[in-house]
Amino acid sequence: MVLTQTSEFLRRGIQVDLVLIDERRSLNGFVPEGARVFNLRVSKLRNSVGPLMRYLKAERPAGVHVLMWPLTSLAVIAQKLSGVSSRLIVSDHSLLSIQYASWGILHRLVMRASLATTYRASSARVAVSNAVAEDLAKLSGLERERFTVIYNSALISTDQGYTTGAAEVAWRGWRGKRILSVGRLKASKNFALLIGSFRRLLSRMDARLMILGTGELAEDLASHIAALGLTGKVILPGHVADPVPFYLSADLFVLSSNYEGFGNVIVEALACGLPVVSTDCPGGPREILDYGRYGHLVPVGDEVALEAAIAASLSSAKDSTKLKSRAAEFSPEISAQQYLDLLLP
């Protein structure tokens, strides 16, 4: 999302610096031409205030967009200490009250205090969905009206003549119904729910389920799949650099999360004309799907309801034009202009 925003700003003739706290991976081929990269090499977030101050004093940017607490709060402190009058926009992409629910009462008190003080001092506050905005308002004690909702943009386009060769190899020759899910293999994505629903589905139709992604639960999920006798029917290809061929090769996209700040993968699926079934989890999915107008929504954690929605969607005709039209409402041009209205009013 940041790189897409960077490209859009550069296209409009705006100079962009990417300030990274501690990026260890090579960025060759990823950073848009014309953007400058400042890698602060700070291993711990709490030590980032000084380096951020030095960057601000040296470069004096007109506007600064900082993503995700607690870096957002630290950046506000750095700006105030630097004395630089840049407009500083903070944005959050997750439901913090859920993300940090297990971190204890002390952490929650610190989080609430930091949000209340630093977000009040920022130039503007952005949330990627109304649900995130409402969550931030409750945590910070600030009025809901002080948070601006800017949806993430679709990060892919199907106008580049994609072929599905790589995806076909991963599907291992399967020509029947294909169900796809994409996301980090972690607890909040609840892929176990999806696998359970898929197992139920097999009693009424044959199909294959593919889950793209890597994460800490990769081995556990593989073991769970084997224990259920679904080896070969649930496919875990791991990480892929470009998911577009996989969206284009599938019949249905399913998101089974317990919560989502936004849900970029839903927009990506819609952009490829792929029907969507999603849990009606706290966060962005219901807003992206317009409360069921552009896809099926089912209760969180309900294996039976999820299977029924998957079966219904696979048995229905799809309107790819309608789905792509919805995805177009999340274009990079729209979100970039919304951010520029805050950064350079």
Task: Transcribe 94-163 into DSSP letters.
Answer: S-HHHHTGGG-HHHHHHHHHHIIIIIHHSSEEEESSHHHHHHHHHHH---GGGEEE-PPPP---STT---
> What is the pLDDT, as a whole number, of residue 36?
97
Which H/E stretch holds residue 224?
A: helix 218-227
**Residue type at 313?**
S
What are the φ and ψ backbone dihedral angles of 336, each rounded to 5 degrees? -60, -45
> What architecture is the 165-328 domain classified under in CATH?
3-Layer(aba) Sandwich (3.40)
- pTM score > 0.85 for this model? yes
The whole-angstrom separation of Cα 315 and Cα 202 is 14
Q: What is the pLDDT of residues 117-135, one digit of tens each?
A: 999 999 999 999 999 999 9
Name the token pair of 178.
Answer: 């294909």
Work out the average pLDDT over 156-179.
Answer: 87
Beta bridge partners of 67: 91
Q: What is the pLDDT of residues 188-234, one digit of tens each?
A: 999 999 999 999 999 999 999 999 999 999 999 999 999 999 999 99
> What is the pLDDT, as a whole number, of residue 28?
82
Name the token pair of 282.
Answer: 């706290």
On average, the pLDDT of the chain sits at 95
Q: Are 119 and 140 in contact (CB under 8 A)?
A: yes
pLDDT range class, residue 162, cuts 50, 70, 90 = confident
Work out the average pLDDT over 235-242.
Answer: 92
> What is the pLDDT, as a whole number, of residue 285?
98
b (16+ CB within 10 A) / e for 140-155: bebeeeebbbbbbbbb
Dihedral of CA atoms 199, 165, 313, 188 in degrees, nearest 10, equals 60
> What is the pLDDT, as a whole number, of residue 114?
98
> What is the pLDDT, as a whole number, of residue 163?
83
Instruction: From residue 151, give the alpha-carbon distance in Å to each of 29, 32, 135, 330.
Output: 26, 22, 16, 7
Work out the average pLDDT over 224-245.
Answer: 95
Q: What is the pLDDT of residues 89-127, one digit of tens each?
A: 999 999 999 999 999 999 999 999 999 999 999 999 999
> What architecture is the 2-153+330-343 domain classified under in CATH?
3-Layer(aba) Sandwich (3.40)
pLDDT range class, residue 156, cuts 50, 70, 90 = confident
- pLDDT of 269 over the 80 cut: yes
pLDDT range class, residue 142, cuts 50, 70, 90 = very high
Q: What is the pLDDT of residues 273-327, one digit of tens each?
A: 999 999 999 999 999 999 999 999 999 999 999 999 999 999 999 999 999 999 9
> What is the pLDDT, as a whole number, of residue 58?
97
All CATH 3.40.50.2000 domain ranges of the chain, comma separated, are 2-153+330-343, 165-328
Work out the average pLDDT over 30-48.
Answer: 94
Neighbours of 121 (CB within 10 A): 13
Place of tokens 């000084």: 50
- The gap from C-alpha 186 to its chain's centroid, in whole angstroms, comes to 14
> What is the pLDDT, as a whole number, of residue 336?
95
Q: Are 311 and 204 in contact (CB under 8 A)?
A: yes
Q: What percent of the chain has pLDDT over 70?
A: 99
pLDDT range class, residue 241, cuts 50, 70, 90 = confident
Please enumerate in sequence order all residues whose Cβ is within 8 A of that of 309, keeping only pairs 6 or more positions apart, or say none. 277, 296, 298
Contacts for 288-291: CB closer than 8 Å, 24+ residues apart: 288/151, 288/262, 288/263, 288/326, 288/330, 290/326
pLDDT range class, residue 157, cuts 50, 70, 90 = low
- pLDDT of 27 over the 90 cut: no
**Residue type at 337?**
Q
> What is the pLDDT, as a whole number, of residue 158?
64
Work out the average pLDDT over 129-144.
Answer: 98
